[in-house]
Amino acid sequence: MDMQRLLRASVQFKASDLHVQAGSPPTVRVDGTMVAFNAPPVTAEDVRGLIAEVATEAHLDRLERERSCDFAYAIPDLARFRINAFYEKDTLAFVARTIPPRVKTFADLSLPPVLHEIAEEPRGLVLVTGTTGSGKSTTLAAMVDHLNRTRRLRIITIEDPIEFFHESQKSLVAQRELGRDTPSFTDSLRRVLRQDPDVILVGELRDAETMRTALQAADTGHIVFSTVHTTNASFTMQRIVAMFPPDERELLLTELATNLVAVVSQRLATHKQKEKGRIPVVEIMRNTAVVSKAILEGRITSLPQAIANRDNGMQLFDQHLTELYHTGQITGTEALRLSTNPDAVALALRGMTTLDTSGGLVT
């Protein structure tokens, strides 16, 4: 057993992730389902040897000190892989996420056309949110690629680790990796304004300090793209507010109301024709006058009602799910599985009702 064979097999099976841990056979996730290889269980020594094949000394040292480590590995002309090595029950394990060699476009990914407008905003903060494996990084890469191909800009990314490679095209692109090129997201964000950027991509906004610095960068006339691990637009706002102590929240809401461009939240649905794999279900909140006023006044729970009005390309998850069902792209079962309000969606799928501006029902 060697790492190259395992990673090549993972790509061959069109897996999103390869999981290897002692006591089980190597397992891949294909279209959201875990599938074990027809192979004997790996041993702890096997796992350690596989990690050693692709990790540097610096990565191995960090793994021992912090008990987990992220790094990237590439097989030329095949794919890149984001690898997370970690300890479980004091034994090494790892997950390798497949990153395609070519950045896909919005059209390739079946993303709503309004994302072109959002990506082209000259300043502000754009957040792409969702659970792990929902396609956040792929959508961000599509945004950067769109700007790189069509605009003359200075684009700087800060990632942990670098996933998609962006060769400079019309734009000049610099990609910085945590641990190799910069010690932290916050440190890099503080220094990036001296590097003359137009576009800044931050891999993840993990804490109040990073969020604060990202908002400052947006406030100084830059467009900032990043991700947050939340399930929809309103929960994203709640999560951001919860990052900050109570005495800072009034100022935070003012900065969000002023600088937020959009929140794009994603889930992945299995296509009705299973051979087509999975397609994104997208909730989009843009900073319209109504949305900005709700954020400024702290009325976060009212945001779904503003989104449901569908101004400027906005949409709720349940609205997009209903459209995907009626256009024959997903089954009713899949729509209900991913819905926020299953009862409302069930009736909407039958054509008995439509979803109103609160996500409820209109007969």
19: domain CATH number is 3.30.450.90
pLDDT at 353 over 90: no
Q: Are residues 203 and 300 in the same domain?
A: yes
pLDDT band at residue 77 under the 50/70/90 scheme: confident
Count structural domains, the chain. 2
- Which of 21-30, 141-150, 174-183 has the lowest average pLDDT? 174-183
If asked whether residues 191 and 229 sit together in one domain, one would say: yes
What is the band of 79 on the pLDDT scale with cuts at 50, 70, 90?
very high
Task: Give one DSSP letter per residue of 253-288, joined into a string.
Answer: HHHHHHHEEEEEEEEEEE-SSGGG-EEEEEEEEE--
What gap in Å lies between CA 81 and CA 142, rounded to an integer?
18
CATH number, domain with residue 265: 3.40.50.300
Domain that holds residue 20: 3-99
Domain-located, residue 346: no
Residue 84 lies in a domain: yes
Structural domain includes residue 322:
no
* pLDDT surpassing 50 at residue 358: no
Contacts of 259 (CB under 8 A, 6+ apart): 123, 124, 125, 215, 218, 219
In a domain, 17, yes or no: yes
Burial of 169 (0-12, 13-18, 19+ CB in 10 A): middle
Same structural domain, 89 and 136: no
Q: Flag whether 271 is in a domain.
A: yes
Give the percent of the chain with pLDDT over 90: 88
Is 47 inside a domain boundary?
A: yes
pLDDT digit string (tens) for 136-151? Answer: 999 999 999 999 999 9
Q: Are residues 14 and 67 in the same domain?
A: yes
Residues 21 and 58 in one domain: yes
184 pLDDT band (50/70/90 cuts)?
confident
Please tell me whether residues 134 and 251 are part of one structural domain. Answer: yes
Q: What are the angstrom distances between the C-alpha of 323 and each of 81, 134, 254, 346?
A: 34, 19, 34, 13
CB atoms within 10 A of CB 110: 15
Q: Are residues 141 and 287 in the same domain?
A: yes
Same domain, 19 and 136: no
Considering the domain architecture, whether residues 92 and 151 belong to the same structural domain is answered as no
Residue ranges of the alpha helices (H) in 24-84? 44-54, 57-66
Residues 92 and 162 occupy one common structural domain: no
109 found inside a domain = no
Alpha-carbon distance of 342 to 134, in angstroms, equals 20
Q: Is residue 49 part of a domain?
A: yes
CB contact at 8 A, 252 and 209 = no
How large is the angle between the packed helices 44-54 and 3-12, nearest 10 degrees?
90
* 174 and 262 both lie in a single domain: yes
Q: Indicate whether 184 and 211 sit together in one domain.
A: yes
